[in-house]
Structure 1
Amino acid sequence: MQNIFSYRGNILSTEPPTRFLLYIDILGFKDMTLNDPRKVARVYSILDKLNVHKHPNFKTIVFSDTILTYNPELVESKEDREYIVWYLTEFAEDLYSRLVGQDIYFRAILVGGDFHHFQLENVQCFFGGALIRAYLAEQGMPFFGLVMHKDCVPYNRYFRLDEFNDEFSFVYLSRPIEQLHNLGAKSYPVSFPEVDDMAPDMPESVRFLRDIYALMRGRRAPEIRAKALTVWDFYFRRYPEIVSALVASNFSVDALGPRGAWKDEKAALEEKIKYYKRIGSGTEMSIAVQKFSKSRNGNP
C-alpha cells in the first residue's frame, strides 16, 4: 500500500491554506448520457486535452461529471499561494475557453483546505474537508463558470472578482471584456485601431455572452435559465455599456470596435468551435457509448 498525497488539516482552521482544490461539475451530464452519448465522448476528449495535465505541480482526478484539480505539494509562502490560485483559476479559464460554442457548461468552486488522495493496492481514495465544502457550495449556487472562496481571494492577482455571497466571489473568466473595459471608453464601438491587440480573443467572449443570453431567454428548463440569468446579471452590472452594445447589435463584435478589428480572431474561433464539436468522434469511446445507447433504445 502506497500513500501518494495526504494533508491533515482542519477545514475550519484560521491558518492560511496550504492546499487548494478546484472542483468542477459538468452540468447536464445525466441528460447527455441518456440522450446524446456523442456529447459525453466530446466532453471527455476535451477534458483530456486540458493544459492542467502538462503541469507537474498539479494533479487531476476525473470521475463521471466531476473534475478535481489540486496541488499535491503543500505551499507555505504567500507567493506560492498566489501561484497556485493563479494557475487553478487559469485551468478553469482553459476549460471555459474550449467549451465556448459547444452548449456544454460547468460550475466550478475554488477552495482551500484539507484534501487527501491515497492509492491503495486496488483502488484510489480521495476525500477531505475541502472536497465537502466545494460539493455543498456547488449544490446551492445557481451559476455557470467559477466562484472563489474567501480564503482564496487574498491570493488572486489576475482575475476580476465580485461578491457572490458571504463566502464566495464570482470570477469573470472572460478576461478580454475586462481588458476592453479598462481602456476607459464611455461608449461603443471604440475607435482605437489596435483594440484587437489591447483586448484579444474578444469574439470568444462575445460568443459566450450570446449563448448565455439565449439560455436566459429561451425555452430551457427553469434551473438552466436561472443559472444563465445569474451570470448575465454579473456581466451586465460590471460592463453595462459593453453588454448593452452587444445586445443592440445582436452580438456583433463590430459593436465594440472598428469594423473588422477582430476578423482573424473571429475566424479562428469558428474553426476552434468546429474542431471541438468533432473531437472524440470516431474514437473507441464514442463508438462504444453510441452502440450501447442504440441497444438500450432497442435500435440495431
Structure 2
Amino acid sequence: MLHDLFIAPFFDYEFMRRALIGAVALSISGCPLGVFLILRRMSLAGDALSHAILPGAALGYLACGLSLPAMTFGGLLAGLAVAVASSAAARWTALREDASLAAFYLVSLALGVALVSLKGSNVDLLHVLFGSVLALDDATLIFLAAIASVTLAALALAYRALALDTFDPLFARRVTPLGEWIPFAFLALVVLNLVAGFHALGTLMAVGIIMLPAASARLWTRGLTGALPLAAAIGAASSYFGLVLSFHSGLAAGPVIILMAGGAYFLSLIFGKTGGVIRLRRPKRHLEG
C-alpha cells in the first residue's frame, strides 16, 4: 500500500522521475538563496524578479517558440535589467528600492503577458505562467542541474563574503575591494535560479519554492549554517510529496508542490523551535533567553 502510494509513481513513470529530479535540483540551489533573501530583508525582491523575467522569456518565445536557450537568455537579460534599473531608480530618485521594484515588476508582468498573447494560445500562456514540471526534457534537466551546480559552487566559494555582506554590509565593503559587487553577484544568482525555476514551475510559482522553505527553516533555527541545508531539505521534501499528491489527485503538479511548501511553512509557524507560535507563547523559565 505504501509502496503504491509513495514509490510506485516514480518507478513506473519516467516523467515523474524527471519532475522529481528537476524540482529537487531547483530546491537545493534556490532555497539557500531564499534564506539569504530573508536575512537581507529582500523577500519581496524575489517575487518581483520572478515576474521581471517574463518579458524577456516572452520575447524569446515570440522569436523561437518554446525554445529553452531563447527563453532562458531572454529571461536572464530581462531579470538583470530590472534588478539594475530598480537599484538605479532607488539610488537616483526619491523612491525606495521596494517601491521601484514593485513598479518595475508590475509593468514587466503586464508586458510579458501581452507579448505571449500576441502569438500564443491560452495553453502557451499557462505554460509560461505556471510551468510544466511534468514535461521536463533532457535539455531542461541538464540546464537545471547546471544551475544548481553553479549556484552551490558559488555559495561554497563566497559563503563568508556573502554572510558578512548580509549581516554587516558596511564592514564588508571596507575589508574587501569586492564588497561593492557582492550584492550584484547575489542578485545575479537569484535571477539565474528564477530563470531555471521558470522552466519547471513558471514565473508565478518559481519564487514559491525558493522563499517558502527558506521561511520555514528560519522558524526552526537561528544559525545560518543550519538554515541553508534545512531549507533545501524542506524544498526537496515539498517537491516529493507535492508530486505524489498531484499524481494521485490529478491536480496540477506545480501549484501542489508550492502548496506543500506552504503547508510546511504553516506547520513551522506553529511548531517552529525558534520562532513558532508555541515556542514564543510558552512561559519562559528563569534566566531563559
The higher-RCO structure (CA 8 Å, 6+ apart) is: 2
Scaled by the length of structure 1, the TM-score of the pair is 0.23
Scaled by the length of structure 2, the TM-score of the pair is 0.24
Return the index of the structure with the highest Cα Rg: 1
Identify the structure with the greater helix proportion: 2
Identify the structure with the greater strand proportion: 1
